[in-house]
Structure 1
Amino acid sequence: MLKIENLTKKFNERTIIDNLSFEVDDGEILTIVGPSGAGKTTLLRCISGLERVDRGQFYVDDVQFDPYLEKGQQSTIGVVFQDYQLFPNLNVLDNVILSPQLALKMPVATAKNEALDRLKRLRLDGKEQLYPYQLSGGQKQRVAIARALAMHPKILCYDEPTSALDPELRGEVRDIIKGLKRDGITQIVVTHDMTFADEVADKQLHVVALK
């Protein structure tokens, strides 16, 4: 279970998130929804350790941790970015295996075997040697998910996973997220798409813009 207590984040004395607390149970999908400027992406960046919080405590299974200090190590939190952030000079397979080799010191053979299995489950078998420019938006999204999962995170976060996709691919992303739930992976999804949020969420967190 992920528990966040009294999270506060400011930028230049402007409070973006104020004293926010919530919980996500193991295997649940939480969607974070709200208007533009409400701090959804900032909240996700705090949870995933990309931003240092001004105040607040993070717990996984009742053990306190600091996501900012843990980033780059064996991740408690993984993140799939809105723009995917794949390395353009690496093919699909190398994009997926790079981080576990560097951060987890995983042997190359182990990393490749895990990656090939994960890519097959995400319907990317046969795409291993392609480069990001050769992929569709939906394929890039799935590679980004495979790369995040390669770090064995306890919790997987998504920043607007459907925003750059054609409408027909929205259902594909929904099915992937629900499939990962069946695998027991806890997921947090930031989205402006309320219909999508309703389709995948076990619970929703509504955030509002602060004055």
Structure 2
Amino acid sequence: MLELKNLTKYYGKRLILDNINLTVNDGEIVSIVGPSGGGKTTLLRCISGLESISSGEILIDASPFDPYRNTTNESVIGVVFQEFQLFPHLSVLDNITLAPKMVLKHGKAKAEEDAQKLLDRLSLGNKGHLYPYQLSGGQKQRVAIARALAMNPKILCYDEPTSALDPALRQEVEDLILSLKRDGMTQIVVTHDVPFAENIADKMLKVKPLED
């Protein structure tokens, strides 16, 4: 279980997030929705450790946890970025196995075996040898998800997972997120797409820009 208690974030003197409280139970999908400038992505970056928080507390299973300063090899929180951020010079398989080999210290054979299982699961079984430029937007999205899952996170976060996709691929991502829920994955989804959020979420957190 993830808990945010009075999470506050400033950039300089500008207040971005003001005393956010949120509980995400194991296996839940929580959607964070709101207009641009409301702090959705900043909140996700704080949860995932890409940004430090100014004050407040983050807890995992009732124990204080600072994702920004997490120095263990354990990937507690994984992130699927809006622009995928795949390495263009690496194959699909290498994109997925890089972090498990470098961070988790998995051997090449194990990392590739685990990656292939993820590719098969995400209907990308024959794409491991391809490079990102050879993939469609939907395929890149699934590779990004596979890369995050390869680190065995307890919680998986998405930043605007449907923003660059057409309606058919949007449905594909929705189905994938729900299938991961059936497998017990806890997920947090930042999106401006309210109908999409309503379709997938067990609960929603609405954020809005703070007045100056």
Q: TM (normalized to structure 2)?
A: 0.98
- Give the paired residue count: 211
After superposition, where does 1:13-162 map in structure 2 within 5 Å? Answer: 13-70=13-70, 73-162=73-162
Residues in 2 aligned to 1:68 and 1:114: alpha-carbon distance in whole angstroms: 27
Quick one: distance in 2 between partners of 1:184 and 1:159?
20
* 1:72 Cα offset (Å): 7.6
Amino acid at match of 1:91: S
Partners of 2:136 and 2:77 in 1: CA distance: 26
CA gap 1:170/1:181 in 2 versus in 1, 3 angstroms:
same
Query: Given that residues 49 and 71 in structure 1 are in contact (C-alpha distance below 8 angstroms), is that contact kept between their aligned partners in structure 2?
Result: no
CA RMSD of aligned residues (A): 0.9
- CA shift for structure 1 position 71: 6.5
Task: Return the letter of the residue paired with 2:14.
Answer: R
TM-score normalised by the chain length of structure 1: 0.98
Secondary structure at the counterpart of residue 3 of structure 2: strand
The CA distance in 1 between the partners of 2:133 and 2:151, in whole Å, is 24
Letter in 1 for 2:51: E
| Aligned-residue identity in percent | 63
What letter corresponds to residue 32 of structure 2 in structure 1?
A: I
Q: Secondary structure at the match of 1:138?
A: helix
Question: Secondary structure in 2 aligned to 1:73?
Answer: coil
Which consecutive segments of 4 or more residues in structure 1 shift more than 6 A?
Answer: none
- Aligned partner of 1:202 in structure 2 is 202
In structure 1, the gaps of 5 or more residues are none
**Secondary structure of the structure 2 residue equivalent to 1:46:** helix
* Rounded Cα–Cα distance in structure 1 between residues aligned with 2:44 and 2:90: 27
Contact 1:72 1:103 in 2 (8 A): no
SS at match of 2:57: strand
